[in-house]
Structure 1
Amino acid sequence: MIIKVLLPFIAATFVYSGFVSAEMRQSKPTTSPSKPAVPKVVQPKWKVFTPPDKSFQVLMPGRPKKKTQVQKTYMGEIKLEIFVAQPPEQEVAYLVTYNEFPYSYAKMTNPQKILNQAQDNSLKATQSNLISERNIRSSNGHPGKEIQYVDSAGKVTTNRMYVAEGRLYQVMAIVSKKQRPTLAKTITGYLNSFQLVLRK
């Protein structure tokens, strides 16, 4: 019952991911018909980013833009915090999101159940096909899951999700089919750089 109420709220992340993918499509430079389009990869300067509440740190290509989405449930309003960075001249987006669960929900619900539900919902919301999935843990032992999926346009999303201290954290990279081979190592480095920081 509670999970169904929270599903649209969890889906907001993936709706926004779709928006980022659309932006990636629109930002392609126009080329003449005689020359094939070859995506350029200009490596940006990566810096450690920490949000205002200092709950995590991650390497980002420049300072990410912040967006907040609010979902109304019978338990009250729940906020989804989104941080997104899109390097210029690259067909990729890097996102970190988190949402706070109500205390009772977080205490009563098995973390694996939350992760599995988030996975199912992400595939439905983006109409994507699952490529791979595996259980993981954060560096300080919080349960997590990594999923990789591809949408109808060929964009591949790698999403690492963690349940920690009443929150669902999601670390995502969305890349075009063309630039996926070139940026594979960069994406892995980005995902590996994510560190949860225990709140006091």
Structure 2
Amino acid sequence: MFHVEVTETDEVYQIAGEKGIAHLDPQDPPRRRANKKKGLGNFANDRPGIMGTIGRETGLVRLHVRQRTTKVEVQSKLAEQRIMRGSCHTDEHLAYWKLADLGVHHATVCHHIKEWAKDDDGDGINEVYTNTAEGFWTGLRNFLRPFRGVSKHYLWHYVGMHQWFHDTKIVTSEFIQATAFTPQNT
């Protein structure tokens, strides 16, 4: 039997204003608490999208902070990174339409009709789901919480650090030495 790697791709919108950036105009506050703007987030409305792809077998994750999560931006990033091989499971966000054109098997679940998992091949096992990716966002938000807000201009640094921590499975003495601060003798 041919083995196909299965990945899950999903997006989340993180509230991130302009913390730490001076604003001289009192009509333009640096942070807007409880941002309740309707619709999908983007960089301009202080809710940049974070797109993530997670390999089910490998557990590796690839995260990207996006200005917008349009079909063109999302699919060009997925094709450029070549992080999808085999089968990709997503929700029915418009940005994922026609992922099969990138040469992958694309299966979706429809959250609008309260579908969280489904059986695509009729064997009685719900193999199409995005629960791994959805659960990953909880870990990312828990990682960001102690910072008490991050600037949208530097969000990609925090997201990259979280990806690195997630993908680093073994902590060795070399790893600790590489991350530890050691004063230089001059």
TM range (shorter): under 0.3
Normalising by the residue count of structure 2, what TM-score does the alignment of the two structures yield? Answer: 0.26
Normalising by the residue count of structure 1, what TM-score does the alignment of the two structures yield? Answer: 0.24
Computing the radius of gyration from Cα coordinates, the structure with the larger value is 2
- Which has the bigger relative contact order, CA under 8 A and spacing at least 6? 2
Q: Normalized per residue, which structure has more strand?
A: 1
